Amino acid sequence: MDIWKKLSGELIDIVQWLEDAPNVLVHRFERMNNEIKNGAKLVVREGQAAVFVNEGQLADVFKPGTYTLTTQNLPILATLKGWKYGFESPFKAEVYFVQTKQFTDLKWGTMNPIMRRDPEFGPVRLRAFGTYAMRVSDPGELIKQVVGTAARFTEEGINEQLRNVIVSRFTDTLGESKIPMLDLAGNLSELGEFVAGAIRPEFGTYGLDLTKLLIENISLPPEVEAALDKRSSMGLVGNLQQYAQFQAANAMEAAAKNPGSAGDGAGMAMGFVMAQQMASALNAGGQAGLAGHAGGAGTPPPIPGAGLFFVAVNNQQTGPFDLQTLSQQAGSGRLTRETLVWKQGMAEWAPAGRVPELASVFASVPPPLPGR
């Protein structure tokens, strides 16, 4: 009997998981026929949890620590097996070790473009990608909802489902945000936090906790980006006529550095001619546009600022007024030949009657009576 006690003492099991497997969520402890000896030691390290399952039913869950397995610390398993007076070695149970550490740098992204109506550009297609981090918050729920009877379960086994959840909620949030496309880059952090808040309850149904969600980039299709680049370039160019003249001047300067080259001279001449043609075309287009705004008249409208005079009334500057308004003022007597006027280009204020451009204003106004 003493020999048997000694041998049974030496055969006490140690149930633990030492494998360094960074991407494994759940590992099932393998024993012959799932037999565990009475008084076995259970070692659960930091970042782990141990889950006991009996014939498909979730039993006891252990946090980090060292335990001697008896009916006292296996109350649920004891109830399931109907042990009233303790158990004899061995007993059967499946033991799953669950990693509770954070799993970081998990990738997510949109497989297909997201259609969105932008207030400035209209309908656009957007793509987005980023990273997220999660950890197991409820090991028992993870075993029940996801793992089942699998002997080994990695984060890749659920990552695709989690990515689908993220993309679905991201699409809804992006559409509801109404943020203009060009302002998205400045709101990625806030948008990520809002999406994470909407997703966490769904992660919780799997026994998981979403600890971080980052949106790294939201991009347009390549052809749309190219068109946007062209639009930006046009804005940087500014005045096309001045730009054409600048380009022609650069061509002439480059040709001057290589005198005596016929090819360079021909290129310079061609560049100068092209610049002239561009300037003419731009001038013609601008005049045509002004004519269209003038109601389709054949002659261009007056040059802005032409014929505008300031008038001194009671030592106060008024105006500027055009010739038609000045004619009305002359007819009513408010403007006389002695009234001081000034326009851009005049050296100083002068009586209206001495300004040649205002002669037509006083054409219908009689001069002062003699002797007055």
Secondary structure (H, E, C), 174-212: HHHHCCCHHHHHHHHHHHHHHHHHHHHHHHHCCCEEEEE
End-to-end CA distance of the chain: 152
Is 39 in the same domain as 143?
Answer: no
The residue among 220 and 310 whose pLDDT is bigger is 310
* Region 29-48 average pLDDT: 84
Is 134 in the same domain as 218?
Answer: yes
Is 220 in the same domain as 145?
Answer: yes
Quick one: pLDDT at residue 300? 53
Question: What interhelical angle do 156-177 and 188-204 show, nearest 10?
Answer: 130
Q: Does residue 74 lie within any of the structural domains? A: yes
| Integer angstrom CA distances of residue 255 from 250, 261, 265 | 9, 8, 7
Q: Does residue 289 lie within any of the structural domains? A: no
Least confident of 20-24, 190-194, 236-240, 270-274: 270-274
The residue among 6 and 213 whose pLDDT is bigger is 213
Question: What interhelical angle do 240-256 and 262-293 show, nearest 10?
Answer: 170
State how far the Cα of 197 lies from the Cα of 169, in Å rounded to an integer.
Answer: 10
- Residue 63 — pLDDT band, cuts 50, 70, 90? very high
The widest CA-to-CA distance across the chain, in whole angstroms, is: 156
The residue among 225 and 281 whose pLDDT is bigger is 225
Instruction: Say yes or no to pLDDT of 319 above 60.
Output: yes
Is 91 in the same domain as 199?
Answer: no
Quick one: pLDDT at residue 246? 66
Q: Which of 102, 104, 103, 96 is nearest to 44 (CA)?
A: 96
Q: Which of 177, 168, 173 is nearest to 118 (CA)?
A: 177
State how far the Cα of 310 lies from the Cα of 317, in Å rounded to an integer.
Answer: 7
* 88-120: burial string, b at 16+ Cβ within 10 Å, e else: eebbebbbbbbbbeebeebebebeeebebeeee
How many beta carbons lie within 10 A of that of residue 224, not counting itself? 15
- Residue 366 — pLDDT band, cuts 50, 70, 90? low
Is 83 in the same domain as 116?
Answer: no
Q: Which of 50, 80, 99 is where one domain is finished?
A: 99
Q: Does residue 303 lie within any of the structural domains? A: no
Q: Which of 99, 131, 164 is where one domain is finished?
A: 99
Is 127 in the same domain as 60?
Answer: no
Quick one: pLDDT at residue 49? 94
* Region 258-263 average pLDDT: 55
- Percentage of the chain lying above the pLDDT 70 cut: 70
Quick one: pLDDT at residue 107? 92
Quick one: pLDDT at residue 42? 92
Q: Does residue 199 lie within any of the structural domains? A: yes
Q: Does residue 295 lie within any of the structural domains? A: no
Quick one: pLDDT at residue 247? 67
Using DSSP bridges, classify how beta strands 24-29 and 94-99 pair: parallel, antiparallel or unpaired. Answer: antiparallel
Least confident of 10-14, 76-80, 162-166, 297-301: 297-301
Is 92 in the same domain as 147?
Answer: no
The residue among 264 and 49 whose pLDDT is bigger is 49
Using DSSP bridges, classify how beta strands 48-54 and 57-62 pair: parallel, antiparallel or unpaired. Answer: antiparallel
Instruction: Say yes or no to pLDDT of 82 above 80.
Output: no
Is 46 in the same domain as 145?
Answer: no
State how far the Cα of 336 lies from the Cα of 307, in Å rounded to an integer.
Answer: 17
The residue among 288 and 356 whose pLDDT is bigger is 356
Instruction: Say yes or no to pLDDT of 264 above 60.
Output: no
> 150: which DSSP letter?
-
Is 70 in the same domain as 113?
Answer: no
Is 62 in the same domain as 76?
Answer: yes
Q: Which of 318, 311, 310, 288 is nearest to 301 (CA)?
A: 288
* Region 75-92 average pLDDT: 70
Q: Which of 43, 72, 99 is where one domain is finished?
A: 99
Is 110 in the same domain as 84?
Answer: no
Q: Specify the number of domains making up the chain.
A: 4
Phi, psi dihedrals of residue 191, rounded to the nearest 5° = -65, -40
Is 211 in the same domain as 256?
Answer: no
Structural domain span for residue 37? 2-99
Instruction: Say yes or no to pLDDT of 205 above 80.
Output: yes
**Count of residues making up the chain:** 372
CATH number of the domain bearing residue 350: 3.30.1490
Using DSSP bridges, classify how beta strands 35-36 and 91-92 pair: parallel, antiparallel or unpaired. Answer: antiparallel
* 164-202: burial string, b at 16+ Cβ within 10 Å, e else: ebbbebbbebbeebebebeebeeebeebbebbbebbeeb
| Integer angstrom CA distances of residue 86 from 58, 77, 93, 299 | 20, 11, 15, 110
CATH number of the domain bearing residue 143: 3.30.479.30
Q: Does residue 56 lie within any of the structural domains? A: yes
The residue among 203 and 256 whose pLDDT is bigger is 203
* Region 128-142 average pLDDT: 92
The residue among 31 and 128 whose pLDDT is bigger is 128
The residue among 60 and 360 whose pLDDT is bigger is 60
**Could you give the angle at the alpha carbon of 365 between the alpha carbons of 360 and 370, nearest 5°?**
125
